[in-house]
Structure 1
Amino acid sequence: MQGKQVYIFDTTLRDGEQVPGCKLNTLEKVDLALKLEELGVDIIEAGFPISSPGDYESVNMISKTIKNATVCGLTRAVQKDIEVAGQALKYAKRPRIHTGIGTSDFHIKGKFNSNREDILQRAIQCVKWARNFTDDVEFYAEDAGRTENEYLAKVIEAVIAAGATTVNIPDTTGYCLPSQYGEKIAYLKNNVSNIDKAIISCHCHNDLGLATANSIAGVINGAQQIECTINGIGERAGNTALEEVVMIIKQHKELGFFTNIQTKLLNPLSRLVSDTMRVPVQPNKAIVGANAFSHSSGIHQDGFLKDANTYETINPDDVGAEGSKIVLTARSGRSALAYRFQKLGFSFTRNDIDVLYENFLQLADKKKEVDEDDLAKLAQEYQPEMSEVL
């Protein structure tokens, strides 16, 4: 395959589970972890082991179950956290400890009541502790999006020297613009002397609706890993949506990247996550929303029926969707009406459709959507003998 691989780090089971009401039990987590591995996810963040006995058990069970993907556990920059994570991950074929600390002045002063030098030393120490359990250590600089670049570069250089193999640059509050986030990644690429010894990771939140755009900007500027969740679920307004960044990379081949994701599994897994976590997917959600491949405007419907490429850049089959839909509303045109009648088995001439269209509009003005039963009734009223077609 041509291009440079972007590693997909899925945190549905950790950051995604932080949504109120989305708590998963161990069996649910293991089941979803297996589906994520089947999807082709490179790293599965299975949980935060020290947070509860249930989460420890889940990380431990997933570690025993997953065969190919890296299994990751989150910690704070606390020795006990790291020791517990190391124990939870001990059966993993590819274990990773994800540890770190806040680096913005908002966190250093407001959260830790500390100073930059102390935070730097704590960052170095947590990586060294983690290296006692695994060679695969990821360091997160929480609130990197609002961290002054020169200090951030100093921290990143120090933790790589201490043994971090991946450095996570989170836009924790979803504050950055894509240009700002991309420039931050580029700054690290150009100002951290040992950056070639680690993978840069993007972990973007969606508070301003920019998580996907920021992650792509990060990759364009040198990051090789995107941290994301199925359906974009996560803390507050959510995380980068896995299905969005994967399909952007797949569709925009000129970017020169690829992932290992089996895209035909995206919609089925989206529905499973939605059902398991009891969080509905908004209808207009990109890639996996119920309306992602629906067309209701007459202009759009006419163009789509002539050539699907006029209004769809993704083939629904490529993402495991059920197919494109022509939805009949008061905004629909004659071509869409004729198409839907034909799908039901009716053959009407253009003159027939002209007459039926007026009746259709009267009905459509009263309803949000005209369904198959409505169409059958319209056909029967127009030409009663045609009802036998059904």
Structure 2
Amino acid sequence: KQASRFRIHTFISTSPLHMKHKLNKNPDEVLESIKEHVVYARKFTDDVEWSCEDGTRTDMDFMCKTVELAINCGAKTINIPDTVGYSYPSEFTKIISTLLNKVPNIDKAIISTHCHNDLGLAVANSLAGVVAGARQVECTINGIGERAGNAALEEIVMALKTRNDLMPYHTNINTKLISKASKMVSNVTGFPVQFNKAIVGKNAFAHEAGIHQDGMLKHKNTYEIMTPESVGVKQTSLVMGKHSGSHAFKEKLADLGYTDLQDDVIEKSFAKFKALADKKKHVYDEDISALVDDSLIKEDNVINLKSLKVFAGTEEPQRAEMELEVFGEIKKDKATGDGPVDAIMKCINKIYPHEVKLQLYQVHAVTEGTDAQATVSVKIEEKGKTTVGQA
């Protein structure tokens, strides 16, 4: 409600399958519900968006009726979701084109797309919608979302920018922040970006094949349709080490885009940098970004890890010894398990009994080399509630 562009988004299923089995409503009842809820939403804001859920499996004539009604009731944006990722680009183009040609008041609204990626076509369908006349695209960074995810923002934006000859449309996205935004979302959600992910994957601008490398050395455009810099990717540099001071560190932060950090965050990050530089021969830009991101986390834990020892071998059970601070009280214990992670979980459970199921445990190196930092992602479930953490 405090947003600069306050909008209410209301929706209802319109496909025969959803109306019958999910809503238990007939088409007339669905139309009445559209009228009721769009009119009600307009009491609070002029900016109302309406969606026909499972739109790509909806009868086209009925969709036209629902869209016309929603606009008459005050909807300013009409969103067409491919809710289950079922549509094909040519089909999606036809849906948008039909709405533009058959709905008499369609000029009073903006058509939007909302495509899921169950068949890997979310971005293709979204772009097909834009070419057909849609002027809003609902998408997510890294393509995260329900099931197989949603259309990836970075892919749509860079496709429009790179193929502006075919799609002469413009967004206000600052593409140089795409890589940073991708990493931030990955850190917050705990979902790593696959290495070969378009635009933001670690290998998106890597060229390993000899013939590719030869072409790149002769002219970058031979195998590069966009520059790494255009999405905020910089080549790894080795300019920071244990002899670097606070001034150089601040300059490096500014170069990496950290221009508005609080002094306490900078000091905390610098202390971590010096500690890392004493252990690591080379400190990369990715290392520094990881340190800053970690320093931005506000720690207010009721349980803190004080020490951990893990013993692993091929001929004996894995063993963990742990010291935790629980509500200010130091507690110690040890446990054995089928592996180091199992031993750690059992040790935690002995110190602080609970019913937690570990759903995901992943370790990813931040940079190359045996001395690389790592990010650890965990997903746990307790009493039906899922929590994701990363460090």
TM-score range normalised by the length of the shorter chain? 0.5 to 0.7
Secondary structure, counterpart of 1:200 in structure 2: strand
Unaligned runs of 5+ in 2: 238-367, 371-391
Deviation at 1:280, TM superposition (A): 0.2
From 155, 163, 169, the equivalent of 1:252 is 163
In structure 2, what is the Cα distance between the partners aligned to 1:218 and 1:210? 12
* Residue in 2 that maps onto 1:265: 177
Question: What aligned pairs does 1:295-374 form with structure 2 within 5 A after superposition?
Answer: 295-323=207-235
How many correspondences in the alignment?
Answer: 239
Q: Once the two structures are superposed, what CA deviation does each residue of 1:215-268 show, in whole Å capped at 9, x if it has no partner?
A: 000000010000000000000000000000000111111211000000000000
2:90 matches 1:179: yes
2:142 matches 1:212: no
Amino acid paired to 2:123: T
* Residue in 2 that maps onto 1:274: 186
In structure 2, what is the Cα distance between the partners aligned to 1:301 and 1:94? 47
TM-score, with structure 2 as normaliser:
0.60
Secondary structure, counterpart of 2:81 in structure 1: strand
In structure 2, what is the Cα distance between the partners aligned to 1:300 and 1:323? 18
Contact 1:264/1:319 (CA < 8 Å) preserved in 2? yes
- Give the root-mean-square deviation of aligned CA atoms: 1.5
Secondary structure, counterpart of 1:280 in structure 2: coil
Larger RCO (CA under 8 A, 6+ residues apart): 1
Deviation at 1:121, TM superposition (A): 1.0
* Residue in 1 that maps onto 2:64: 153
Contact 1:206/1:240 (CA < 8 Å) preserved in 2? yes
From 292, 297, 303, the equivalent of 2:204 is 292
* Residue in 2 that maps onto 1:119: 30
2:6 matches 1:108: no
Cα 1:163–1:283, aligned 2, differ >3 Å: closer, same or farther? same
In terms of fraction of residues, the more helix-rich structure is: 1
Deviation at 1:372, TM superposition (A): 8.8
In structure 2, what is the Cα distance between the partners aligned to 1:138 and 1:118? 20
Question: What aligned pairs does 1:19-168 form with structure 2 within 5 A after superposition?
Answer: 89=1, 91-168=2-79
Q: Once the two structures are superposed, what CA deviation does each residue of 1:241-300 show, in whole Å capped at 9, x if it has no partner?
A: 000000011111121100000000000010000001100001000000000000111111
Contact 1:99/1:137 (CA < 8 Å) preserved in 2? yes
Secondary structure, counterpart of 1:258 in structure 2: coil
Contact 1:284/1:292 (CA < 8 Å) preserved in 2? yes
Contact 1:294/1:324 (CA < 8 Å) preserved in 2? no
Secondary structure, counterpart of 1:257 in structure 2: coil
In structure 2, what is the Cα distance between the partners aligned to 1:323 and 1:247? 20
In structure 2, what is the Cα distance between the partners aligned to 1:304 and 1:93? 45
In structure 2, what is the Cα distance between the partners aligned to 1:172 and 1:295? 36
Deviation at 1:323, TM superposition (A): 3.7
In structure 2, what is the Cα distance between the partners aligned to 1:104 and 1:137? 22
* Residue in 2 that maps onto 1:29: none
Deviation at 1:324, TM superposition (A): 9.3
In structure 2, what is the Cα distance between the partners aligned to 1:323 and 1:179? 39
Deviation at 1:302, TM superposition (A): 0.9
Question: What aligned pairs does 1:218-257 form with structure 2 within 5 A after superposition?
Answer: 218-254=129-165, 255-257=167-169
Secondary structure, counterpart of 1:169 in structure 2: strand
In structure 2, what is the Cα distance between the partners aligned to 1:113 and 1:96? 28
Show structure 1 runs of 4+ deviating over 3 A. none
Cα 1:372–1:94, aligned 2, differ >3 Å: closer, same or farther? closer
Deviation at 1:142, TM superposition (A): 0.3
Unaligned runs of 5+ in 1: 1-88, 326-370, 374-390
Q: Once the two structures are aligned, what percentage of the paired residues are identical?
A: 54
Secondary structure, counterpart of 1:111 in structure 2: helix
In structure 2, what is the Cα distance between the partners aligned to 1:199 and 1:124? 18
Deviation at 1:304, TM superposition (A): 1.1
Deviation at 1:305, TM superposition (A): 1.3
Amino acid paired to 2:112: S
In structure 2, what is the Cα distance between the partners aligned to 1:133 and 1:311? 52
